[in-house]
């Protein structure tokens, strides 16, 4: 593994390796003194073209627990407005002699384009509607901790799956680990072609949730209303919101995940977030562990291959 750009192209073996390593990192996080010297002397750039304090903080903490130096570069607006091409951006980073680049961008594919130019590892922290691989891994880790394994589980992903990079990474990792995946939401927001990959696609929430072991609730982007794809948020809540009523269709031991931040009362009710079903807080902790594992694997040197 040279970069972490997506989960679609990762082998099952690579995924399991990263998850095992992440579990070790969870144990480091449980220690009173978390810092380990593994990446001392390494410099990592967090290159965020799209603001996201949560993900950036998570990567930054992960790097610092491994004793790496972190530089945060926040850029906004399109490349066209700034008059800068991706080639310029990449060359500037290379000149700074950094050891790894964590990149988030509002356009799908930018981490891939940067990785084609850069020699150092590139880690995708979310690109457009494409993928968010560390989120997929942390979701898989969270489910594994709760259920032992993903094999044979029914996992339902609910919401705007079409535009969700989280959903795309989730789907690949869940399928690789042997889960049955069903996606549900308003039909215009579902990737209908995913049936080709063995994913069940249905607008019928009842069908999607029936006997589900895991429910991943996606954040609803409010701009879907102005783009004419949705009626009111209340109507969305009525039909696809995760409430104690809809949750009753799922398996009695079903757990609920959400990549955050939540629109309470829209895609999920507060009482579910705060219930024993919720694994939302472990997700946050696992996020740091997964990012430590990824940084370690890509920048640790000598360990892999």
Partner 1 sequence: MSSKDETGWLIKDVRVIDPFRNVDSIEDVCVDGDKIGSASERKDYVPVDGQGLWLVPRLIDMHVHFREPGFENKEDLQSGSRAAAAGGFTAVCTMPNTHPVIDIPSLIQWQQDQAKNMGLVHIFPIGAISKGQQGQELADLYQMTRAGAVGFSDDGHAVMDARLMRAALSYSTTLGRPIIQHAEDHELTAGGVMHEGSISQQMGLGGIPEEAESVMVWRDVELAGLTGGILHVAHVSAPGSLEALEYAKRRNLRVTAEVSPHHLLLTDAAIREWNFNPVTKVNPPLRTEGTRQLLIQAVRQGLIPVIASDHAPHHQDEKELPYDEAPFGISGLETFIGAIFSVFMVDGLISPLDLFRRVTVGPHKVLGIHYPGLTPGAPADFTLIDPQMRWVVDGKKFYSRGKNTPLQGTRLQGRSVATMVNGEWTMRDQEVLK
Question: Footprint of partner 1 on this chain (CB under 8 A)?
Answer: 8, 78-80, 85-87, 105-110, 112-113, 116, 127-131, 162-163, 165, 168, 191-194, 196, 227
Q: Which is nearer to partner 1, 162 or 209 (CB)?
A: 162
- Minimum CB–partner distance for residue 19 and partner 1 (Å): 23
Secondary structure tally for the chain: helices H, strands E: 13, 9
- Minimum CB–partner distance for residue 2 and partner 1 (Å): 14
Q: Which is nearer to partner 1, 87 or 234 (CB)?
A: 87
Q: Which is nearer to partner 1, 167 or 295 (CB)?
A: 167
Contact between 283 and 259 under an 8 Å Cβ cutoff? The reply is yes
Q: Which is nearer to partner 1, 47 or 250 (CB)?
A: 47
- Minimum CB–partner distance for residue 88 and partner 1 (Å): 8
> Which tokens in the block code for residue 297?
């694997």
From 160, 305, 152, select the one nearest 230 (Cα to Cα): 160
Distances from the Cα of 152 to the Cαs of 18, 20, 217, in angstroms? 21, 20, 20
- Minimum CB–partner distance for residue 37 and partner 1 (Å): 36
Q: How crowded is residue 263: how many other Cβ atoms within 10 Å of its Cβ?
A: 17
Question: Phi/psi at 186 (nearest 5 deg)?
Answer: -60, 135
Q: Which is nearer to partner 1, 52 or 106 (CB)?
A: 106
Residue 234, SS3 per DSSP: helix
Q: Which is nearer to partner 1, 185 or 241 (CB)?
A: 185
211: left (phi over 0), alpha (psi -120 to 50) or beta: left
CA torsion, ordered 100, 12, 219, 249, to nearest 10 deg? -160
Contact between 48 and 104 under an 8 Å Cβ cutoff? The reply is yes
Rounded CA gap, 195 and 191, in Å? 8
> Which tokens in the block code for residue 24?
């070790």
- Minimum CB–partner distance for residue 165 and partner 1 (Å): 6
Strand order in the sheet with 255-257: 200-202, 180-184, 154-158, 214-217, 255-257
Beta bridge partners of 70: 44
- Minimum CB–partner distance for residue 91 and partner 1 (Å): 11
């Amino acid at each position: 593994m040279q970069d972490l750009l997506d989960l679609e192209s990762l082998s099952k073996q690579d995924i399991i390796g990263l998850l095992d390593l992440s579990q070790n990192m969870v144990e480091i996080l449980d220690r009173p003194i978390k810092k380990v010297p593994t990446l001392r002397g390494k410099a990592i750039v967090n290159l965020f073209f799209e603001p996201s304090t949560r993900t950036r903080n998570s990567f930054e903490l992960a790097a610092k627990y491994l004793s790496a130096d972190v530089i945060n570069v926040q850029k906004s607006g399109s490349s066209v407005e700034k008059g800068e091409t991706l080639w310029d951006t990449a060359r500037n980073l290379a000149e700074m002699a950094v050891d790894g680049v964590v990149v988030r961008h509002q356009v799908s594919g930018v981490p891939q384009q940067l990785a084609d130019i850069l020699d150092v590892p590139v880690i995708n922290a979310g690109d457009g509607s494409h993928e968010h691989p560390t989120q997929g891994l942390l979701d898989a880790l969270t489910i594994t901790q709760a259920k032992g394994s993903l094999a044979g589980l029914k996992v339902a992903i609910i919401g705007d799956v079409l535009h969700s990079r989280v959903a795309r990474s989730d789907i690949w990792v869940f399928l690789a680990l042997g889960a049955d995946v069903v996606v549900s939401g308003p039909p215009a927001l579902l990737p209908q072609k995913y049936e080709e990959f063995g994913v069940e696609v249905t607008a019928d929430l009842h069908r999607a949730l029936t006997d589900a072991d895991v429910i991943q609730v996606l954040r609803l982007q409010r701009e879907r209303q102005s783009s004419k794809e949705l009626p009111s948020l209340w109507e969305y809540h009525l039909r696809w919101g995760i409430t104690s009523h809809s949750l009753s269709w799922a398996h009695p031991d079903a757990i609920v995940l959400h990549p955050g931040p939540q629109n309470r009362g829209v895609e999920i009710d507060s009482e579910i977030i705060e219930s024993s079903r919720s694994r939302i807080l472990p997700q946050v902790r696992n996020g740091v562990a997964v990012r430590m594992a990824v940084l370690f694997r890509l920048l640790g040197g000598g360990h892999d291959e």
